Amino acid sequence: MKKEIPSQSELQSLFGKERLEAWNAVCNAVDSVYEMETLWNDGGKKWDYEYKYRRGGKTLCALYARENCFGVLIIFGKDERAKFEASRSQYSDAIQRIYDMAETYHDGKWMMVEMGDSSLLDEVMQLLAIKRKPNRK
């Protein structure tokens, strides 16, 4: 079920000014280094909105929004998990904890990085670079 695309003011009233700034920072960072299709969807049972970054039928990541919360979902396959584990000491305790607690399904490890502000943005971008090399300078 597809929802209407929310405006910036609707997102701000959903999860607040600071999270909206972090949401926009994530979108701007992804848009600046990846050429992707974007897709708005209903967020399912737990979320109000899903904003997905895809290319060639493969999803890079998806942003999820609900009241007072938004998160970035990154799914790591087997090879990507090996790359993360080889460099895990370069990541903060928070990211390592999210990785360790993430559910592993048949199609990969589903990491949901909940963002209260932009403090984890650089690490989220490093995680995305494991999934797909940036294709813009």
Cβ-proximal residues to 76 (8 Å cutoff; 6+ apart), any chain = 84, 108, 109, 111, 127, 130, 131
The pTM score is 0.94
Contact 53, 27 (CB under 8 A): no
What pairs with residue 51 in β-bridges? 40, 63
pLDDT per residue rounded down to tens, the chain (137 residues): 456 899 999 999 999 999 999 999 999 999 999 999 999 999 999 999 999 999 999 999 999 999 999 999 999 999 999 999 999 999 999 999 999 999 999 989 999 999 999 999 999 999 999 999 998 65
